[in-house]
Amino acid sequence: MASLWSKISAILPPTEEQFPLQFSDKVALSVVEMLKRARQQLYGDATSASSRILTAQIILDYSWERLNTGTWRHVDKEWRRVYSYGCLFKAAAICRRSPSEEEILQAIRTCDMGLLMGAAIMENILQVIVRILQREIRTLAKEEDAHENIEAKKRKIASPHVGLIKDELSVPRIKCPSLESFNANYLLPLKPVILEGIIDHWPALNQHPWSIEYLRSVAGCRTVPVEVGSRYTDEDWSQTLLTVNEFIDRYILNEVQDSESDHKAVGYLAQHQLFDQIPELKEDIRIPDYCCLGEDDEDDITVNAWFGPKGTVSPLHQDPQQNFLAQVVGNKYIRLYSPEDTEKLYPHQSQLLHNTSQVEVESPDAERFPEFVKAPYLECVLRSGDVLFIPVKYWHYVRSLEISFSVSFWWS
Amino acid sequence: EDSCVRLAGFCASISSNESFSPVTVNTSGCQDAAISETHLTLALPGRIESWHGQLGHGGLISEEEPRTVEALWGMTMRSVAAGGWHSICVGGGDLYVWGWNESGQLGLPSRGLRKDEELHEEVFISIQAFPALVDVSPSCEISTVSCGSRHTAAVTTGYLYTWGWEYGQLGHQTTSSLDEPQCVEFFRNENLHVVDVVCGSWNTFTAAVKK
- Is the pLDDT confidence value at A150 over 60? no
| pLDDT tens sequence across B146-205 | 999 999 999 998 999 999 999 899 999 888 999 999 999 999 999 999 999 999 999 999
Whether residues A218 and A80 fall in one domain = no
| pLDDT tens sequence across A393-403 | 999 999 999 99
pLDDT of residue B61: 62
State how far residue B11 is from chain A, nearest Cα, in angstroms.
Answer: 9
Interchain CB contact of B79 with A (< 8 Å)? no
Residue A152 maps to a domain: no
Residue A153 maps to a domain: no
Residue A213 maps to a domain: yes
Residue A41 maps to a domain: yes
Measured between beta carbons, which residues in chain A are less than 8 angstroms from residue B85?
Answer: 68
- What are chain B's domains? 32-210 (2.130.10.30)
| pLDDT tens sequence across A358-395 | 999 999 999 999 999 999 999 999 999 999 999 999 99
Whether residues A316 and A204 fall in one domain = yes
Instruction: Answer for the pair A108, A138: CB distance below 8 angstroms, yes or no.
Output: no
Within 85-144 of B, beta carbons closer than 8 Å to A belong to: 85, 120
- Is the pLDDT confidence value at A146 over 50? no
Q: What is the mean pLDDT of chain A?
A: 90
Q: Domain total for chain A? A: 2
pLDDT greater at residue A145 or residue B33: B33
State how far residue B126 is from chain A, nearest Cα, in angstroms.
Answer: 11
Interchain CB contact of B37 with A (< 8 Å)? yes
State how far residue B120 is from chain A, nearest Cα, in angstroms.
Answer: 7
Residue A151 maps to a domain: no
User: pLDDT grade, residue A53 (50/70/90)?
Assistant: very high
pLDDT of residue B129: 81
Which H or E run includes A139?
Answer: helix A125-142
ipTM of the complex, rounded to two decimals: 0.75
CATH for A186: 2.60.120.650
Instruction: Check B84 against A69: CB less than 8 A apart.
Output: yes
| pLDDT tens sequence across A239-273 | 889 999 999 999 999 855 554 554 567 999 999 99
Q: What is the DSSP track for chain B?
A: --SEEEEEE----TT---EEEEEEEE-TT--EEEE-SS-EEEEETTEEEEESSS-SSSS-S--SS-EE-GGGTTSPP-EEEE-SSEEEEEETTEEEEEEE-TTSTTSS--GGGS-GGGGGTS---SEEEEEEEE--SSSPPP-EEEE-SSEEEEE-SB-EEEEE--SSTT-SSS---EEEEEE-HHHHHTTEEEEEEEE-SS-EEEEEEE-
Which residues of A make CB contacts under 8 Å with B? 58, 61, 65, 68-71, 74, 259-260, 350-352
Instruction: Answer for the pair A243, A223: CB distance below 8 angstroms, yes or no.
Output: yes
Measured between beta carbons, which residues in chain B are less than 8 angstroms from residue A68?
Answer: 85
pLDDT of residue A145: 47
CA B7 from centroid of its chain's CA atoms: 20
Q: What is the DSSP track for A296-319?
A: --GGG-EEEEEEE-TT-EEEEE--
Measured between beta carbons, which residues in chain B are less than 8 angstroms from residue A352?
Answer: 14, 61
pLDDT greater at residue A47 or residue A258: A47
Distance CA A376, CA A394 (A): 13
Whether residues A139 and A216 fall in one domain = no
Show which of A144, A175, A199 is a domain's final residue.
A144
Quote the percentage of chain A above a pLDDT of 70: 92
Measured between beta carbons, which residues in chain B are less than 8 angstroms from residue A58?
Answer: 167
Residue A47 maps to a domain: yes
Residue A225 maps to a domain: yes
Whether residues A171 and A104 fall in one domain = no
For an interface test with A, give the residue of B37, B51, B169 to mutate (most A CBs within 10 A): B37
Measured between beta carbons, which residues in chain B are less than 8 angstroms from residue A70?
Answer: 10, 12, 37-38
The mean pLDDT value for A113-117 works out to 95
3-state secondary structure of A40: helix
Determine the residue type at B118: E
Interchain CB contact of B167 with A (< 8 Å)? yes
Whether residues A136 and A179 fall in one domain = no
Q: Name the residue range of residue A201's domain.
A: 167-256+263-411
Whether residues A129 and A171 fall in one domain = no
User: pLDDT grade, residue A32 (50/70/90)?
Assistant: very high
Show which of A110, A144, A178 is a domain's final residue.
A144
Whether residues A84 and A120 fall in one domain = yes
Whether residues A60 and A197 fall in one domain = no
State how far residue B38 is from chain A, nearest Cα, in angstroms.
Answer: 6
pLDDT of residue B36: 59
Show which of A75, A109, A144 is a domain's final residue.
A144
Whether residues A391 and A308 fall in one domain = yes
Which residue ranges of chain B lie beneath pLDDT 50?
Answer: 1-28, 44-53
Instruction: Check B12 against A65: CB less than 8 A apart.
Output: no
Residue A237 maps to a domain: yes
Whether residues A182 and A39 fall in one domain = no
3-state secondary structure of A166: coil
| pLDDT tens sequence across A205-220 | 999 999 999 999 999 9
Instruction: Check B38 against A260: CB less than 8 A apart.
Output: no
- Is the pLDDT confidence value at A193 over 90? yes
CA A59 from centroid of its chain's CA atoms: 26
Whether residues A347 and A216 fall in one domain = yes
Whether residues A124 and A218 fall in one domain = no
Burial classification of residue A280, based on how many CB atoms lie within 10 Å of its CB (0-12 exposed, 13-18 middle, 19 or more buried): middle
Instruction: Check A260 against B15: CB less than 8 A apart.
Output: no
**Total CB pairs under 8 A between chain A and B:** 23
Instruction: Check A70 against B12: CB less than 8 A apart.
Output: yes
